[in-house]
Structure 1
């Protein structure tokens, strides 16, 4: 089966909506000066240890089974908008491949400049687990900042039990191990908070987490919009903070993208 085509770098049309009318409760954050070695647009990440990722509810999805491009607001712990993100994928890919689809997530700052790009290739494996003995290909996202410069990877690890991921730098060296809960398989986690704990490479010390928060019955029953948070050490390299944001997008697609359909 041929992999659905993802547009080439020179052909992609982002069709990003201008960020003009912000809700009255949103306070845009001021951007600090760029530290040495920090990719442009990631300087604000030096000041925070958590990001909140809120997927916007799409009315077309609520009233139909048509999968639309995901859109996200990315905020700090005080509710101030830091970034805006939008999925770039074809209608055919979303219709035929569902949550296994290839995509690009374009992340913009409050000046509408693209600062992070998260890319995933289509994987034909039908299961969530990556079992070497079943021949399933691992799911992975590549994180770039600025676009075109790879700074890290978030990759699914082979397991047939608990979800397991690794966060890697640009040289594919493991920086963190990430382990999810057992209940993710049963569907019960769709209606409760779910934590993917982030461990140091030795596997003993918890240094952060990627959490999915229960968004309420109405929102979750009629759409697949989710609320997630990403927590990391304050002094962590901003490149790895951005890579953990990419991990949150991957987890969202793999476990929660089709939840309102799976739970019917």
Structure 2
């Protein structure tokens, strides 16, 4: 028969301290884990591209424009920040849009039109909004204006309320605002509402566009003239005096080919320039995104260049702006 079991008070002091103190399982040095993060090679900070503007137009954002917030360049790091693939684009993948260098002010030139003094060819590219085809909801038009070197010159945005756009569609009155690289509204184009219910040859039914540069100061007008088989416009100065005329083709919609609107002198003898609506194949009939090519002499008066530029938008709304199909009853 075994002897009596010792009680707690009878156990040795060393054993009691061993039971009450938990062992420290932490090693002297942390273990070497195999991390899933593989740092890339070290490299210098990426400087901003040459010719990149210091500021961008305010109130405008789109996939064609770079972010208005500069990319953060860390300091004191050995390796650059690695981005998770498929979730966020790396800074090197964000290609900024090149803008035309800002010209210096010129005498006898409205502010903002100095860009047009240096060019003889500009491209008007309308943005395509696929939601218009899905929802049948007309949205504000947006255009990118580029020169022959594919540099951004202006941004044109429509400022029309939702009810007016969807109630009047292609006949809607509108305000187009032209923004330069500094975010300034350098030009405004306004189209008043003209009722087409009366006789088509009535003067009150003819379309008109007013160009203001700077906004609030009338630069001139683009007035439609009645013609039986083709589009005819007159470009007028601020006193409504005819200066140039625009003569369109007989088949205005130009299915299968470019539509050329020739800018001529008042007597129709000499050709000054042209407004060409480019044919983009089947995309021209499916998408509401037009492409215009405007050509004029390099030494032409800059005010007349701006007026030819404004005539392009009146032509677009009258002949090439397509409304989403309405559901039948």
TM-score normalised to structure 2 length: 0.68
Greater helix content? 1
The residue that corresponds to 1:114 in the other structure is 185
- 1:74-85 to 2 correspondence within 5 Å? 74-85=145-156
Of the two structures, which has the highest relative contact order with CA contacts closer than 8 Å and spacing of 6 or more?
1
| Structure number with larger C-alpha Rg | 2
SS in 2 for 1:247: helix
Q: Aligned partners of 1:157, 1:141: CA distance in 2, in Å?
A: 13
**Of 81, 87, 95, which residue of structure 1 is paired with 2:158?**
87
> Do structure 1's residue 157 and structure 2's residue 202 form an aligned pair?
no
> Do structure 1's residue 203 and structure 2's residue 268 form an aligned pair?
yes
The answer on whether the counterparts of 1:87 and 1:104 sit within 8 Å (CA) in structure 2 is yes
The residue that corresponds to 2:118 in the other structure is 47
Deviation sequence 1:123-153 (CA, Å, 0-9, x none) = 12159x9523xx6521011001110011111
The answer on whether the counterparts of 2:66 and 2:97 sit within 8 Å (CA) in structure 1 is no
The residue that corresponds to 2:195 in the other structure is 124
Deviation at 1:106, TM superposition (A): 0.4
The answer on whether the counterparts of 2:259 and 2:278 sit within 8 Å (CA) in structure 1 is yes
Deviation sequence 1:94-146 (CA, Å, 0-9, x none) = 1111111100000000111111100001112159x9523xx652101100111
Deviation at 1:260, TM superposition (A): 6.9
SS in 2 for 1:216: coil
Deviation sequence 1:210-252 (CA, Å, 0-9, x none) = 11001332x3344311001111121112111111111000000
The residue that corresponds to 2:15 in the other structure is none
Greater strand content? 1
Deviation sequence 1:191-216 (CA, Å, 0-9, x none) = 42100001011111111011100133
SS in 1 for 2:154: strand
Question: C-alpha root-mean-square deviation of aligned residues, in Å?
Answer: 2.3
Deviation sequence 1:142-175 (CA, Å, 0-9, x none) = 0011100111111101222211001111111111
The answer on whether the counterparts of 1:61 and 1:223 sit within 8 Å (CA) in structure 2 is no
TM-score normalised to structure 1 length: 0.84
For structure 1, the residue ranges without an aligned partner over 5 or more in a row are: 1-14
- Which has the larger displacement, 208-217 or 248-257? 208-217
- 1:105-254 to 2 correspondence within 5 Å? 105-125=176-196, 130-132=200-202, 137-184=205-252, 187=253, 189-217=254-282, 219-254=283-318
Q: Aligned partners of 1:159, 1:255: CA distance in 2, in Å?
A: 15
Q: Aligned partners of 2:131, 2:323: CA distance in 1, in Å?
A: 16
The residue that corresponds to 2:60 in the other structure is 17
